[in-house]
Amino acid sequence: MNSKIWLSSPHMGGEELNFVNEAFAANWIAPLGPNVDGFEAELSGITGVKHVAALSSGTAALHLALILAGVGREDEVICQSMTFSASANPIMYVGALPVFVDSEKDTWNMDPALLEDAILDRIKQGKKPKAIIVVHLYGMPAKMDEILTIARKYEIALIEDAAEALGSSYKGTACGAFGDYGILSFNGNKIITTSGGGALISNDENAVKHARFLATQARDNAPHYQHSHVGYNYRMSNICAGIGRGQLKVLDERVKQRRANKAYYSEVLGPLPGVSFLEEVEGSFSNFWLTTLVIDPTVSKGVTREQIRLALDADNIESRPLWKPMHLQPVFTGAPAYVNGNSESLFNTGLCLPSGSNLTRADLERVTNIVTNLFD
Ligand SMILES: *Cc1c(COP(=O)(O)O)cnc(C)c1O
């Protein structure tokens, strides 16, 4: 059996252990400490967002962002339909109702025109949405000018799910820095990892302070344990933050490596009939966290996404269909959805190719040879 090629696996830079060892030497093993402070300051520098709370996961960050936005029971929250379920699940944690909006074709992210239709229709039905969750899928920036304008026009809080988009930017501004709140993820498969972790980022100092308070069990300022809010155990540990600080040192390199994967796949597979890739639009810079291919079976002489996936799998290579839209997920049956068919069509015809920053040229060639052979 050929060696396994993963979709996206952790890739250490070399300095992580230094930070972890420092934490051990000082016995800073707790969910606070110098690595947490350092990691937050460094993330603030990279994103240009003033305040950062390092948390246990991106999902936790989304949960807190919804609480900060004042979302409660029976409120409606608009969410991009084409995404990973972690974008939408926190809406359920706070007892609110998700309303899904489909994607536009250029970036595969939330369609601004459909977003406005959805807002107007929800208002007509008697309920103005409390928040909007937009996602920068696969690292590709969403159309933030349009989306931000709509959010401001209707005075709805904007939460940016930049879990996949650290290192991506739109017109020079980092993904995650546009909305009222941004969230990042450092899960094992993301562009950099803390083994597991996330962050909430915002220019609102009080909001981030409150997030840190909620994330550490919401303990009031009293010598005994006194609580006037429901708290959570959502802080990042000083050990994980140490891994993160080491990883941040190689973030630029990781972005370059992932972009080089995309460039290679485009060059070799792009000329095949019916094959296309998600591309940057003017002003956008993607970290190309995952390289995503779409295949039109009416042009590809019958070659399908599933054929490619199975052929890769037979050679011990992991690939994955594009995210199944939330409006088609059993768990969200019955949720209102404003659709145009784009995310469903992408789900049926799209594939994420192995995209790790640690892939070798030989690994990439193994992938492209298998795909090219299907066309012979
Ligand atoms: C990974 C991911 C999340 C969740 O992040 P975790 O750190 O794994 O909780 C949320 N949204 C998107 C789009 C993701 O890809």
Residues 145-204: tens digit of each pLDDT:
999 999 999 999 999 999 999 999 999 999 999 999 999 999 999 999 999 999 999 999
Lowest mean pLDDT, pick from 9-18, 112-121, 134-143, 206-215: 9-18
Fold of 16-248: Aspartate Aminotransferase; domain 2 (3.40.640)
Please, which pLDDT band fits residue 29 given cuts at 50, 70 and 90?
confident
Whether 84 is in the pocket of ligand 1, judged by its Cβ within 6 Å, is: yes
Structure confidence by residue, pLDDT tens digits, 328-345: 999 999 999 999 999 999
Copy the structure tokens of residue 130: 């409390």
Structure confidence by residue, pLDDT tens digits, 48-76: 999 999 999 999 999 999 999 999 999 99
Query: Residue 246's closest CA among 280, 297, 195, 290?
Result: 195
> Alpha-carbon torsion 52, 55, 61, 64, what sign?
negative
Length of the chain: 376
Mean pLDDT of the chain, nearest integer: 97
Residue spans per domain, the chain: 16-248, 251-326+340-375
Structure confidence by residue, pLDDT tens digits, 291-310: 999 999 999 989 999 999 99
Alpha-carbon distance of 187 to 32, in angstroms, equals 19
Alpha-carbon distance of 216 to 35, in angstroms, equals 17
Alpha-carbon distance of 177 to 363, in angstroms, equals 35
Please, which pLDDT band fits residue 243 given cuts at 50, 70 and 90?
very high
Please, which pLDDT band fits residue 30 given cuts at 50, 70 and 90?
confident
Q: Give me the DSSP letters along 252-290.
A: HHHHHHHHHHHHHHHHHHTTSTTEEE--PPTTEE---SS
Structure confidence by residue, pLDDT tens digits, 266-281: 999 999 999 999 999 9
CA 245 to chain centre: 19
By CB atoms closer than 10 A (0-12, 13-18, 19+), residue 142 is buried
Give mean pLDDT, residues 355-376: 96
Q: Which atom of ligand 1 is nearest to the CA of 62?
A: 10
Whether CATH 2.40.50.140 fits 251-326+340-375: no
Treating both helix axes as pointing N-terminal to C-terminal, what angle do 305-314 and 361-374 enclose, rounded to 10 degrees?
A: 130
| Pairing mode, strands 51-55 and 198-202 | antiparallel
Quick one: pLDDT at residue 31? 78
Q: In this model, does residue 370 exceed pLDDT 90?
A: yes
Quick one: pLDDT at residue 283? 96
What is the DSSP-derived secondary structure letter of residue 50? Answer: S
Q: In this model, does residue 35 exceed pLDDT 90?
A: yes
Give mean pLDDT, residues 116-141: 98
Alpha-carbon distance of 300 to 272, in angstroms, equals 8
What is the DSSP-derived secondary structure letter of residue 349? Answer: H
Q: Which atom of ligand 1 is nearest to the CA of 164?
A: 15
Whether 140 is in the pocket of ligand 1, judged by its Cβ within 6 Å, is: no
Residue 61 CA to ligand 1 centre (angstroms): 9
Residue 162 CA to ligand 1 centre (angstroms): 8
Which residues neighbour 363 within 8 Å (Cβ) at sequence distance 6 or greater?
A: 5, 354
Quick one: pLDDT at residue 2? 87
Residue 273 CA to ligand 1 centre (angstroms): 33
Quick one: pLDDT at residue 32? 83
Phi, psi of 320 (to 5 degrees): -155, 140
Lowest mean pLDDT, pick from 32-36, 93-97, 100-104, 246-250: 32-36
Whether 193 is in the pocket of ligand 1, judged by its Cβ within 6 Å, is: no
